[in-house]
Amino acid sequence: MTRYRKKLSAAFVRSVEWPGLYWDEHGLILRVKPSGYKQWIQRLFIHGKRRELGLGSIRLVTLAQARETAIANRRLARSGGNPLASRRHCIPTFEQAAAKVFAMYRPNWRSDHHAHQWKASLRANVYPKLGRMRVDGITTGHVMAVLSPIWNSKPTTARRVRQRIGTVMKWAIAQGYRMDNPAGEALGAALPKQGGIKRLTLG
């Protein structure tokens, strides 16, 4: 549901809970999902076609910062530039994004073993297929290709790898690099139920 307001306020952004789209200025929109997740998006015309850009989660991007980005994007689009193309040059690969996520979470991990395991599982199972791909180009099919070879043979490892891919993808969503999590519900519905065959190793 779309809900129009003349202009958003920081207090409103913090307090609003009803799902919908709340418009500000220059195509800036606050999207509130049924889950309560709030993110900034922007709708504007680029080379005559309406486009939608993700600008990040409200946890990481303030109203003032979102407005500043929206104005810059609109100016670029009106001058004939392409804000989407500009963003693509700075979108990280999965491996680059995972490094940022690891650095962000590492201070909260008490165990060095867990930190080592986190990095090792991605190096062994994910980086060969997804490491050099930009986070905005990774699909559920790509994640499925990573997990399928180990889903039944190493179920514990596979679940952990899926969770870690999902953590990196959630970071990418919060940064405005993509709108969905390819390791989320759609993947869960597509993967077979574990335990159908004898487990060979716990990973």
| Cα→Cα distances 17→7, 93, 129, 154, Å | 17, 33, 39, 41
What does the block give as tokens for 4?
């129009």
Tell which of 48, 71, 88 closes a domain.
88
CATH number at residue 130: 1.10.150.130
Tens of each residue's pLDDT in the chain, 203 residues: 556 556 899 999 999 999 999 999 999 999 998 988 899 999 999 888 898 888 888 887 889 989 998 998 898 888 888 877 666 667 889 999 999 999 988 888 888 888 899 999 999 999 999 999 999 899 999 999 999 999 889 999 999 999 999 999 999 888 778 878 999 888 878 788 876 544 333 33
CATH number at residue 27: 3.30.160.390
Q: State how many domains the chain has.
A: 2
What pLDDT is recorded for position 197?
Answer: 43
186 shares a domain with 99: yes
What does the block give as tokens for 47?
């080379």
> What is the spatial distance between Cα 42 and Cα 164, in angstroms, rounded to a whole number?
29
C-beta separation of 134 from 172 below 8 A: no
Q: Would 203 be classed as within a structural domain?
A: no
What does the block give as tokens for 115?
């930190």
> What is the spatial distance between Cα 39 and Cα 30, in angstroms, rounded to a whole number?
6
Range of the domain at 61: 2-88
